[in-house]
C-alpha cells in the first residue's frame, strides 16, 4: 500500500500525451515540436493518443474540455452523491424531523440525508471540528490512493513513485499536478534533448490548445507554473508566444491579454531593473531579434484591431509587453540585416501614423524609429504606397490617417528651416537674440510636430549639426549658436513647456536624444564633418593659442551642464574627455589660478571692456571669446549691461569705446547678436545721440569723436543686419534709425538751420583763410545737421575745384585736398557713408573729367573706417566695374583726355572693400546687375528651387522669405511659390529620404513660409494665401483634367490644414512664452479658418472646392481646433 499522504501526480488535461505504440517496440513519448510543425499551420487531424483515465467503457472521472481525466477526491464524493440524486427522500423525512429542528435549512438537511444514506459521517463545516475535517480528508485520500493503485495495475503500468510538491502562490492543484507529470516525462524519456527545445515544445503544447479554448485560465496557470518552476524560461516562452500570436486562431482579446500578462507578471516578479536577458535570451542573433520585433509589431497591430474588452485590457498589456520587448532589442538594431531593418521601419512608420498609442509605448517606438533611421539612413527604402502618411486621404476611405497626425520622425526640414532662420535673422525679432520670441518659435514647433521630447530634441540638434557641417563660410557662428546659445534657449523652452504641462518628461527626452546622437553612426558622421569644417577654419586663425582640435560637442555638453539640463555624469558618459566646469586655459594662465568660477570670469571679462584698454588691443580677446562658446554668453551679457549703463548715464567716452569694439570686430557683434537683442542696443544708442548736448562738455572735439563711434555703430549694425528704416519704441520712447542712415534731403526740404550750418562749415573747411576747426562750431552744430550737410560740402567743393560751378570762383585743388583731409580723421570720418555715395554719383555725372573726384574718392577710401567701406561696398564695386567697362571701350567712345583709375588702383580698392565685408574671395561677388526686374524674379525662383533641392539631399534647407518679398509682391511670390510646390510634389521619384517623400517636404516648407512671423513693412503671408491665392488655385485646378487634380487637391489640403494648426500653436506659444497677444500673422487662425470655410461653401459649383472642403472636414484634429469646417460642411 502506498503511503497515504496528500500528494497529487495526475494532469486534468491532455496537454502532454503518451504516444500510442501498439507493437510495444517503442517507448518514445514526445511533445509537439514547433520547429517541425508550426502551431498556426498545424494539421487539423491530430495523432491518436491514449490518456490516463478509468476503464474505457465507463470512465468514472469527469470530462474536462472534452477529455476524461483522473477523478479527484472531491469529484469522487460528488459522483457518489449524484448516484442517489434520484432517490426519494420522503420516506426518511420523518426520521429527520425527529432529530432535526424544523428550522434547519433545507440544503443542509438534504446533505445530511445523503450522507446517512451511504453510511458516511457528516462533513458539514458548520457541524464538525477542524480535527474531523482533516480526518475525513485523509480517509478519503487513502481510499483514493487505493483506487489509483488498482487503476494502474489494470492498465499494466508500473505505479509511479510519489513526490512532494511545495505549495506555490496563486497556482492551483491542477497546474501543480500537470507540472509534476511534465517533469516526470522529461526525466524518463527526454533527458538527451536540448533544454531549450524541450521548453519550446512545452510552451507550444499549451499554446496550441488556446485555439480550442480561448482565454482559458487553466492553460494560463499551466504556463505560469512552468515559468515559476524554471522548466519554461521566459526567454523561450516569449518567442513562441510571438510566433503563435500571428495565427488568426489566437486573435481573441482574452487569449492575447492572458498570454501578455504571463510574461509581464514573470518579469515584474523577478525584480530585475532591465528586461534585457530575461524577456529575450542574450545570445539571440541580430536576425532573430529583428524577427521577434516584426512579430511584436504584428501583435501590436492585432491588439489595436481587436474589439475592446473591459475585462481584458489588451491594449494596455500589449503596450507594456512591447515596451519591454523594444528595450531588449534596441541595442541589437545596428547589427540587424538591412532588409529586415527596412521591413521593421515600414511597419513602425505605418503603426505610428495610423494608431494613437499610450505615451510610454509611443516614446519607445519613437526611440526605435529614430535608431533605425539614424543607423541605416538611406538604406531604408520605404515602399511607395507608404510614403504619404501625413497628408489627408479621401474622406470616404475611412482611414485613421489625419491631416495633423503624428509627423515624420526622421526629417530635418522643419527644424532645419527654423534654426537657419534663427541664426541668419539673429538680430531681428524672433531671431536667436530675441530670447522670448525665439523660445516661442521652439515651443510652437514642438507642439505642432506632435513629436515626443526625444524625437524633437534629436531633430533639433541634428538640424543644427547639419547646418554646421554644410556652412563652411560661417562655421564658427554655427558653433557659437549650437554650443553657446541653444542650451540657454532650451532651458527657457523647458520652463514654458513644464508650466503648461508638468507631466512632460523633457529631461528624459533630452537624455535619450543625446545618447542616440552620440552613439549612432549617421549623427556621429555629421558631427565629425562639423569638427572637420571647424578645424579648417581654425587653421586660418591668426591667434592659434587654443586647442584647435577640441570638439564643439564637448562645449555643447559643458553648456548643457551649466544650465542644468543634463548632469556632469551623463556628459562624462557621452564624452570621456569631458571635464566639468573647467575655465579657459588662457584665463587660468593669466590669473595663475585654475579654480575661478563663472562669476569671477564674468568680472574679468567686464574689466576688459573698460576704456583703459585700447580697442586695437582687443583683437586677441575677441578671437579667444569667438573660439570658446562657453564664455560667449557671459561676454555678451557683460557688454550689454555696460552698454545700457553708459548710454543711460550719457557716458560718451565709455559708450563710444564699446561701439568701436562692436563695429571694429564683427565677431564681437555676432556674439552679442546671438545672445541679446541688438535692436535694444540700437535704440539706446539713438536715444543717446538725441539727448547728448555738446554745448555743455569741456572738450567738444573729443565728444564728437565718441559720438561718431556711436553713429558708426548704428549705421553699421543697421546695414549689416538689414534693419528697415523704421521707428523703434522701447520704454515709451520712440526713435528712428533714419536719423543716421536716411539723411539725404532734396533742396526744398532743407531748413534754414541746414543752410546756416552749411555756410559756416564750408568756410571753415574750404576757405583759404581758415585757421582750422574750432570748438565753438562743434558746440553750435547739431550732429544730425552735420550728417545731412557733409555730402553737399564735399560734392560742392569738388564742383568748385573742377570749374563745374559757375556761382563761385574756382577752388584751388590744394585747398580742396586740405579740407577733405579733415574727413580722413576720427573727427569727421563718421560722416563718410553719405559723402562717399554722393561722390560716386558725381563721378557718374562728370564722366568726361573724373580725375578730381577719383582722387578725392581714393583719399577717403584709404582712410575710411571699416563700417563705411562695408556700407558703401555695393556702390564702390559697381563704380569699379563701370570704370573697367569704360576702359575697354573703343577710343571713339571714350575721349583720350579721360583719366580713369588704373587697373592696380581698381584692384586695390576692391581689396579694401573685400576685407571690410569679410569676404575671402574679393569684392567681385557683390557685383549684381539690378537693372532688370526679370533677373530678380529668376533669383527668387532659383532660391525656392534651391530650398527644395536641399531638402531632397538631406541638408537643412533655408529660404530668406523677407528678401524675396523685397523683390516681388506677396501675391507674385506666393503664385511663384505654389508653382514650384506643384512641380516638386509632382516629381516622379521622391528623393527626400523621409516618410511622405516630396509631398511631405512641400508641406513642411510651405508651413514655414506661411506661418513664420515677418517684421513690418512685410505683410503676413498666411491671410493673403488663404483668401486671395487659394481661390485662384481652385479656379485654375478646376480647368485641369481629373487625373491632374488629385495631387493638387492633396497638396492644397495638406498645406491649409498644416498651416492653420501651426498658426494656432504659434498664437498659443507667443502667449505662454512671450506674453504677447499681438496678431503676428495679421489675423487669428480662427478668423482665417472661418472665412476660408465660408469661401469654400459658397463655391460649391466647383468640384475642387467641394473636394477640398470634404477633405478638411474629414480631419479630426483640424475640426477639433477649427469647428467652422464641420459647420459649413453640414449646412
> pLDDT digits over 141-169, tens only?
778 888 888 888 888 888 777 665 555 55
Q: State the helix-helix crossing angle for 521-539 and 506-517, rounded to 10 degrees.
A: 70
The answer to whether 281 and 331 are in contact (CB under 8 A) is no
Position 1089 scores a pLDDT of 92
Q: How many other β-carbons are positioned within 10 Å of the β-carbon of residue 334? A: 16
The answer to whether 737 and 725 are in contact (CB under 8 A) is yes
Answer yes or no: is 680 within a domain: yes
Answer yes or no: is 8 within a domain: no
Domain count for the chain, please give it. Answer: 5
1072: left (phi over 0), alpha (psi -120 to 50) or beta: alpha
Residue 880 — very low, low, confident or very high, per pLDDT cuts 50/70/90?
confident
Residues 795 and 920 in one domain: yes
What are the pLDDT digits (tens) for 48-70?
333 333 333 344 444 444 444 45
Burial of residue 194, with CB atoms counted within 10 A of its CB: 0-12 exposed, 13-18 middle, 19 or more buried: exposed
Tell me which residue range forms the domain holding 511. 412-574
What the block records as the C-alpha cell of 180 is: 509534476
Mean pLDDT of all residues in the chain? 78
Position 170 scores a pLDDT of 52
Answer yes or no: is 113 within a domain: no
What are the pLDDT digits (tens) for 187-221?
876 767 788 888 888 888 889 888 888 888 888 88
Position 274 scores a pLDDT of 84
Residues 201 and 296 in one domain: yes
Position 1107 scores a pLDDT of 92
Residues 266 and 359 in one domain: yes
Residues 868 and 1012 in one domain: no
Tell whether the model's pLDDT for residue 344 goes beyond 50.
yes
Please state, in angstroms and rounded to a whole number, the distance separating the CA atoms of residues 613 and 615.
6
Residue 1013 — very low, low, confident or very high, per pLDDT cuts 50/70/90?
very high
Residues 876 and 946 in one domain: no
Answer yes or no: is 809 within a domain: yes
Based on its alpha-carbon atoms, the radius of gyration of the chain, rounded to whole angstroms, reads 43
What the block records as the C-alpha cell of 417 is: 528651416
Position 551 scores a pLDDT of 80
Residue 676 — very low, low, confident or very high, per pLDDT cuts 50/70/90?
very high
Residues 911 and 962 in one domain: no
Q: Residue 101: name the closest of 63, 127, 62, 119 by CA.
A: 127
Position 668 scores a pLDDT of 93
Burial of residue 1039, with CB atoms counted within 10 A of its CB: 0-12 exposed, 13-18 middle, 19 or more buried: exposed
What are the pLDDT digits (tens) for 790-822?
999 998 888 888 776 556 667 888 888 999 999
**Greater confidence, 338 or 561?**
561
Position 894 scores a pLDDT of 54
Most confident of 487-496, 864-873, 992-1001, 1037-1046: 487-496
The answer to whether 1081 and 1023 are in contact (CB under 8 A) is yes
Residues 886 and 787 in one domain: yes
Question: What's the whole-model pTM score?
Answer: 0.68
**Greater confidence, 360 or 1105?**
1105
Residues 909 and 960 in one domain: no
Phi and psi torsions of 8, nearest 5°: -130, 140
Last residue of a domain, which of 574, 606, 626?
Answer: 574
Question: For the chain, what percent of residues have pLDDT higher than 90?
Answer: 28
Position 543 scores a pLDDT of 61
Spell out a b/e string for 605-627, using b for 16 or more CB atoms within 10 Å of the CB, else e. Answer: bbebbeeeeebeebeebbbbbbb
Answer yes or no: is 691 within a domain: yes
Q: How many other β-carbons are positioned within 10 Å of the β-carbon of residue 1079? A: 15
Average pLDDT over residues 955-965: 89
Average pLDDT over residues 557-565: 92
Residues 916 and 968 in one domain: no
Answer yes or no: is 624 within a domain: yes
Phi and psi torsions of 64, nearest 5°: -110, 115
Please state, in angstroms and rounded to a whole number, the distance separating the CA atoms of residues 210 and 228.
20
Report residue 189 CA to chain centroid gap: 59
The answer to whether 252 and 215 are in contact (CB under 8 A) is yes
Most confident of 337-351, 385-399, 677-691, 758-772: 677-691
Last residue of a domain, which of 903, 929, 955?
Answer: 929
Tell whether the model's pLDDT for residue 540 goes beyond 70.
yes
Residues 539 and 609 in one domain: no
Please state, in angstroms and rounded to a whole number, the distance separating the CA atoms of residues 284 and 899.
86
Residue 113 — very low, low, confident or very high, per pLDDT cuts 50/70/90?
low
Answer yes or no: is 148 within a domain: no
Q: Residue 861: name the closest of 835, 887, 827, 898 by CA.
A: 835
Residues whose CB is less than 8 angstroms from the CB of residue 861 and which lie 6 or more positions away in sequence, other chains included: 836, 869, 876, 909, 912
Last residue of a domain, which of 375, 402, 429?
Answer: 375
Residues 804 and 883 in one domain: yes
Q: Tell the residue number behind the cell numbers 504516444, with chain if given.
A: 19
Q: How many other β-carbons are positioned within 10 Å of the β-carbon of residue 976? A: 16
Please state, in angstroms and rounded to a whole number, the distance separating the CA atoms of residues 191 and 463.
59
Question: To 5 degrees, how large is the angle CA 29–CA 31–CA 37?
Answer: 125
Residues whose CB is less than 8 angstroms from the CB of residue 889 and which lie 6 or more positions away in sequence, other chains included: none
Position 153 scores a pLDDT of 83
Residues 452 and 569 in one domain: yes
What are the pLDDT digits (tens) for 744-793?
655 555 788 888 999 999 998 988 888 888 888 888 888 888 998 999 99
Q: Residue 785: name the closest of 743, 746, 822, 816 by CA.
A: 743
Instruction: Work out the widest C-alpha separation in the chain, in whole angstroms.
Output: 157
Answer yes or no: is 523 within a domain: yes
Amino acid at each position: 500500500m502506498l503511503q497515504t499522504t496528500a500528494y497529487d501526480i495526475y494532469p486534468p488535461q491532455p496537454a502532454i500525451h503518451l504516444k500510442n505504440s501498439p507493437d510495444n517496440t517503442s517507448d518514445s513519448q514526445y511533445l509537439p515540436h514547433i520547429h517541425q510543425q508550426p502551431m498556426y499551420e498545424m494539421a487539423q487531424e491530430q495523432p491518436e493518443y491514449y490518456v490516463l483515465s478509468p476503464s474505457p467503457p465507463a470512465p468514472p472521472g469527469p470530462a474536462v474540455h472534452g477529455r476524461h481525466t483522473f477523478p479527484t477526491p472531491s469529484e469522487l464524493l460528488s459522483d457518489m452523491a449524484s448516484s442517489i440524486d434520484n432517490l426519494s427522500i420522503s420516506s426518511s423525512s420523518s426520521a429527520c424531523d425527529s432529530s432535526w429542528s424544523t428550522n434547519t435549512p433545507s440544503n443542509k438537511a438534504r446533505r445530511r440525508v445523503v450522507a446517512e444514506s451511504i453510511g458516511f459521517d457528516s462533513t458539514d463545516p458548520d457541524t464538525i471540528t477542524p480535527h474531523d475535517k482533516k480526518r475525513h480528508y485523509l480517509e478519503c485520500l487513502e481510499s483514493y490512493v487505493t483506487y489509483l493503485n488498482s487503476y494502474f495495475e489494470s492498465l499494466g503500468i508500473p505505479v509511479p513513485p510519489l513526490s512532494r510538491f511545495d505549495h506555490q502562490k496563486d497556482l492551483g492543484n491542477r497546474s501543480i499536478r500537470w507540472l509534476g507529470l511534465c517533469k516526470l516525462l522529461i526525466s524518463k524519456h527526454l533527458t538527451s534533448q536540448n533544454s531549450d527545445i524541450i521548453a519550446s515544445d512545452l510552451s507550444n503544447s499549451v499554446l496550441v490548445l488556446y485555439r480550442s479554448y480561448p482565454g482559458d485560465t487553466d492553460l494560463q496557470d499551466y504556463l505560469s507554473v512552468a515559468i515559476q518552476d524554471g522548466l519554461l524560461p521566459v526567454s523561450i516562452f516569449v518567442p513562441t508566444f510571438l510566433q503563435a500570436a500571428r495565427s488568426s486562431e489566437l486573435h481573441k482579446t482574452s487569449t492575447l491579454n492572458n498570454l501578455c500578462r504571463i510574461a509581464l507578471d514573470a518579469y515584474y516578479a523577478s525584480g530585475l531593473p532591465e528586461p534585457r536577458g530575461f524577456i529575450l535570451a542574450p545570445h539571440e542573433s541580430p536576425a532573430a531579434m529583428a524577427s521577434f520585433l516584426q512579430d511584436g509589431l504584428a501583435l501590436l497591430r492585432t491588439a489595436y484591431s481587436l474589439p475592446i474588452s473591459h475585462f481584458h485590457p489588451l491594449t494596455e498589456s500589449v503596450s507594456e509587453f512591447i515596451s519591454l520587448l523594444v528595450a531588449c532589442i534596441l541595442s541589437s538594431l545596428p547589427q540587424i540585416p538591412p532588409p529586415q531593418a527596412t521591413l521593421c521601419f515600414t511597419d513602425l512608420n505605418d503603426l505610428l501614423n495610423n494608431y494613437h498609442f499610450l505615451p510610454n509605448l509611443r516614446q519607445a517606438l519613437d526611440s526605435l524609429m529614430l535608431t533605425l533611421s539614424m543607423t541605416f539612413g538611406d538604406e531604408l527604402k520605404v515602399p511607395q504606397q507608404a510614403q504619404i502618411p501625413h497628408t489627408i486621404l479621401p474622406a470616404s476611405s475611412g482611414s485613421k490617417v489625419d491631416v495633423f497626425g503624428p509627423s515624420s520622425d526622421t526629417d530635418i526640414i522643419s527644424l532645419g528651416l527654423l534654426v537657419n532662420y534663427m541664426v541668419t535673422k539673429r538680430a531681428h525679432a524672433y531671431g536667436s537674440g530675441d530670447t522670448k520670441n525665439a523660445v516661442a518659435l521652439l515651443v510652437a514647433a514642438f507642439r505642432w510636430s506632435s513629436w515626443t521630447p526625444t524625437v524633437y530634441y534629436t531633430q533639433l540638434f541634428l538640424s543644427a549639426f547639419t547646418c554646421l557641417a554644410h556652412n563652411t563660410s560661417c562655421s564658427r557662428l554655427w558653433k557659437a549658436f549650437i554650443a553657446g546659445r541653444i542650451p540657454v534657449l532650451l532651458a527657457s523652452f523647458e520652463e514654458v513647456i513644464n508650466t503648461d504641462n508638468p507631466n512632460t518628461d523633457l529631461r528624459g527626452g533630452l537624455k535619450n536624444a543625446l545618447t542616440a546622437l552620440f552613439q549612432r553612426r549617421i549623427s556621429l558622421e555629421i558631427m565629425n564633418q562639423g569638427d572637420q569644417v571647424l578645424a579648417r577654419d581654425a587653421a586660418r586663425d591668426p591667434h592659434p593659442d587654443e586647442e584647435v582640435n577640441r570638439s564643439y560637442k564637448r562645449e555643447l555638453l559643458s553648456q548643457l551642464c551649466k544650465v542644468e539640463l543634463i548632469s556632469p555624469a551623463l556628459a562624462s558618459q557621452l564624452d570621456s574627455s569631458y571635464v566639468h566646469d573647467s575655465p579657459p586655459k588662457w584665463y587660468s594662465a593669466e590669473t595663475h589660478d585654475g579654480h575661478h568660477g563663472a562669476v569671477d570670469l564674468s568680472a574679468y571679462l567686464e574689466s576688459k571692456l573698460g576704456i583703459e584698454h585700447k580697442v586695437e588691443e582687443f583683437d586677441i580677446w575677441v578671437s579667444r571669446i569667438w573660439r570658446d562658446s562657453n564664455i560667449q554668453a557671459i561676454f555678451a551679457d557683460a557688454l550689454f549691461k555696460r552698454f545700457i549703463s553708459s548710454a543711460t548715464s550719457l557716458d560718451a567716452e565709455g559708450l563710444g569705446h564699446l561701439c568701436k569694439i562692436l563695429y571694429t570686430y564683427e565677431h564681437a557683434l555676432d556674439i552679442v547678436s546671438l545672445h541679446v537683442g541688438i535692436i535694444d542696443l540700437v535704440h539706446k544708442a539713438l536715444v543717446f545721440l538725441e539727448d547728448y548736448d555738446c554745448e555743455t562738455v569741456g572738450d567738444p572735439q573729443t565728444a564728437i569723436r565718441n559720438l561718431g563711434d556711436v553713429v558708426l555703430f548704428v549705421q553699421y549694425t543697421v546695414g549689416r543686419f538689414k534693419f528697415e528704416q523704421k521707428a523703434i519704441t522701447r520704454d515709451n520712447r520712440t526713435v528712428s534709425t533714419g536719423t543716421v542712415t536716411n539723411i539725404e534731403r532734396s533742396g526744398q526740404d532743407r531748413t534754414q538751420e541746414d543752410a546756416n550750418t552749411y555756410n559756416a562749415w564750408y568756410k571753415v573747411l574750404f576757405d583759404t583763410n581758415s585757421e582750422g576747426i574750432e570748438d565753438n562750431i562743434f558746440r553750435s552744430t547739431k550732429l544730425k545737421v552735420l550728417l545731412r550737410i557733409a555730402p553737399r560740402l564735399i560734392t560742392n567743393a569738388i564742383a568748385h575745384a573742377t570749374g563745374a560751378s559757375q556761382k563761385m570762383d574756382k577752388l584751388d585743388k590744394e585747398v580742396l585736398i586740405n579740407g577733405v583731409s579733415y574727413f580722413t580723421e576720427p573727427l569727421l570720418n563718421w560722416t563718410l557713408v553719405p559723402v562717399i555715395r554722393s561722390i560716386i554719383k558725381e563721378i557718374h555725372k562728370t564722366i568726361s573729367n573724373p580725375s578730381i573726384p577719383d582722387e578725392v574718392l581714393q583719399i577717403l577710401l584709404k582712410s575710411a573706417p571699416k563700417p563705411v567701406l562695408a556700407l558703401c561696398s555695393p556702390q564702390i564695386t559697381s563704380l569699379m566695374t563701370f570704370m573697367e567697362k569704360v576702359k575697354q571701350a573703343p577710343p571713339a567712345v571714350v575721349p583720350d583726355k579721360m583719366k580713369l583709375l588704373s587697373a592696380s588702383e581698381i584692384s586695390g580698392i576692391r581689396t579694401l572693400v573685400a576685407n571690410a565685408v569679410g569676404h575671402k574671395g574679393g569684392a567681385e561677388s557683390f557685383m549684381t546687375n539690378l537693372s532688370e526686374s526679370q533677373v530678380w524674379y529668376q533669383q527668387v525662383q532659383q532660391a525656392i528651387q534651391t530650398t527644395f533641392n536641399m531638402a531632397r539631399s538631406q541638408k537643412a534647407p533655408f529660404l530668406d522669405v523677407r528678401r524675396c518679398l523685397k523683390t516681388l509682391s506677396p501675391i507674385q511670390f506666393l503664385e511663384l511659390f505654389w508653382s514650384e510646390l506643384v512641380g516638386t510634389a509632382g516629381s516622379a521619384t521622391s528623393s527626400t529620404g523621409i516618410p511622405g517623400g516630396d509631398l511631405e517636404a512641400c508641406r513642411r516648407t510651405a508651413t514655414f513660409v506661411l506661418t513664420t512671423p515677418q517684421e513690418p513693412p512685410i505683410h503676413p503671408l498666411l491671410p493673403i494665401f488663404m483668401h486671395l491665392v487659394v481661390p485662384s488655385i481652385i479656379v485654375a485646378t478646376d480647368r485641369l483634367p481629373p487625373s491632374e487634380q488629385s495631387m493638387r487637391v492633396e497638396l492644397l489640403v495638406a498645406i491649409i490644414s498644416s498651416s492653420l494648426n501651426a498658426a494656432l500653436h504659434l498664437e498659443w506659444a507667443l502667449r505662454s512664452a512671450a506674453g504677447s497677444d499681438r496678431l503676428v500673422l495679421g489675423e487669428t487662425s480662427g478668423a482665417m479658418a472661418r472665412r476660408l470655410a465660408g469661401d469654400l461653401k459658397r463655391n460649391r459649383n466647383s468640384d475642387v472646392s467641394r473636394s477640398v472642403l470634404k477633405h478638411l472636414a474629414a480631419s479630426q484634429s483640424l475640426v477639433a481646433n477649427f469647428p467652422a469646417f464641420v459647420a459649413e460642411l453640414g449646412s
